[in-house]
Structure 1
Amino acid sequence: MKLLWLTVAALLLLTQLTPGGTRKCWNLHGKCRQKCSRRERTYVYCTNNKLCCVKPKFQPRENLWPF
């Protein structure tokens, strides 16, 4: 029974931990990662040579009609 409570306590502690090493980039809308998720795109690179993964709605739009 003690082993069960120890396991439950360990699992609860692990769920509270956040993954480290993610820095904010691109006006705090992106995150520095080794690989972007399926719903993100790379627009710039971070200072630590990782990709700055930004959701498309936060990226600047291309100007189709340059004047």
Structure 2
Amino acid sequence: MKLLLLTLATLLLLSQLTPGGTQRCWNLHGRCRHKCFRKERVYVYCTNSKMCCVKPKYQPKEKPWSF
């Protein structure tokens, strides 16, 4: 019984720590992270309260208001 519980705990832990499992955001151009890399900017926030780190070339350009 202890071996079964140990196996289940190990599998649960490994499923949480799989590499490359970052969530994609902003039309699949960004990644949800706690901290963005140097050449990335935060434009929106993900549903899991992490920042959506997007490279500047994929962010929309700001248009000046025209009247």
> If the length of structure 2 is used for normalisation, what is the TM-score?
0.67
**CA RMSD of the aligned region, Å?**
1.6
Q: Which residue identity does 1:31 align to in structure 2?
A: R
Identity %: 72
Q: TM-score, normalised by structure 1?
A: 0.67
CA 1:63–1:20 in structure 2 vs 1: closer, same or farther (change >3 Å)? same
Does 2:59 align with 1:36? no
Structure 2 residue identity aligned to 1:41? R
CA distance in 2, matches of 1:57, 1:30: 11
Which structure 1 residue ranges, 5 or more long, are not aligned? 1-17
